[in-house]
């Protein structure tokens, strides 16, 4: 699909068919997405792919009980990752200074940019997705369930799968306020 068609046809998808996403397709989408620009070309993010049903069920509560967490075959969680950068600084015997709000913002921006490129790549392949603000709101609980190490913080995430909605029946989930 032409990129303009993909962008114009975008809408959030909250209901999904059971069909799994083929591993090759998921890989293709992620490989395209990670071509996104990143600050200093450091890619200070990590992407967590959650397909395991029990793990998705565990994430249901911190994701504010949004059904798409268990209904979609895949959840993608994009994390600001300080850990990798600090490891590299340490190995390079450079000052360990990637540890403040500015660093978090840099990593969070990298994570957000890659998330949207992955989203556009996925939509170009006929998949649908819906971001979940609960990723940031409950990043501590979500990080625990995903067993993230220190310095890896969930910032944006979405459910993703084959759309089972039509526009007229779509309900807008009120996730704020
Ligand atoms: C960072 C972010 C967080 C969002 N969180 C949620 C959410 O938790 N639940 C939900 O149903 N939609 C969520 N959305 C989707 C928005 O509601 C949706 O993008 C907006 O209403 C515009 O609709 P559209 O994406 O169909 O064009 C989120 C979108 C963004 C960008």
Per-residue pLDDT of the chain (177 residues; tens, 9 = 90+): 799 999 999 999 999 999 999 999 999 999 999 999 999 999 999 999 999 999 999 999 999 999 999 999 999 999 999 999 899 999 999 988 888 999 999 999 999 999 999 999 999 999 999 999 999 999 999 999 999 999 999 999 999 999 998 755 445 544 543
Minimal-distance CA residue to ligand 1 atom 27: 11
Minimal-distance CA residue to ligand 1 atom 24: 11
Report the distance separating Cα 79 and Cα 157, nearest Å.
8
Residue 170 lies in a domain: no
Residue 176 lies in a domain: no
Residue 173 lies in a domain: no
Residue 171 lies in a domain: no
Residue-range definition of the domain harbouring residue 139: 3-164
Residue 19 lies in a domain: yes
Output the domain CATH number for residue 151: 3.40.109.10
> Is the shortest distance between the CB of 163 and ligand 1 below 6 Å?
no
Give the Å distances, CA to CA, from 13 to 22, 49, 68, 140. 19, 18, 9, 25
Among 116, 175, 177, residue to substitute to test ligand 1 (most atoms within 8 Å of Cβ): 175
Counting the structural domains of the chain, the total is: 1
């Amino acid at each position: 699909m032409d990129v303009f068609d993909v962008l114009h046809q975008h809408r959030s998808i909250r209901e999904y068919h059971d069909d799994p996403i083929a591993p090759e397709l998921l890989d293709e989408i992620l490989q395209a997405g990670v071509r996104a620009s990143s600050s200093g070309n450091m890619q200070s993010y990590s992407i967590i792919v959650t397909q395991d049903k029990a793990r998705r069920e565990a994430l249901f509560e911190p994701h504010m009980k949004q059904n798409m967490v268990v209904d979609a075959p895949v959840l993608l969680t994009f994390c600001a990752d300080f850990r990798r950068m600090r490891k590299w600084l340490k190995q390079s015997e450079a000052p360990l200074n990637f540890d403040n709000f500015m660093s978090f913002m840099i990593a969070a921006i990298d994570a957000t940019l890659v998330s949207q490129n992955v989203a556009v790549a996925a939509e170009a392949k006929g998949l649908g997705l819906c971001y979940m603000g609960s990723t940031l709101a409950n990043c501590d609980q979500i990080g625990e369930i995903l067993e993230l190490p220190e310095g890896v913080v969930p910032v944006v995430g979405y459910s993703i799968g084959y759309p089972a909605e039509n526009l007229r029946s779509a309900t807008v989930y009120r996730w704020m306020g």
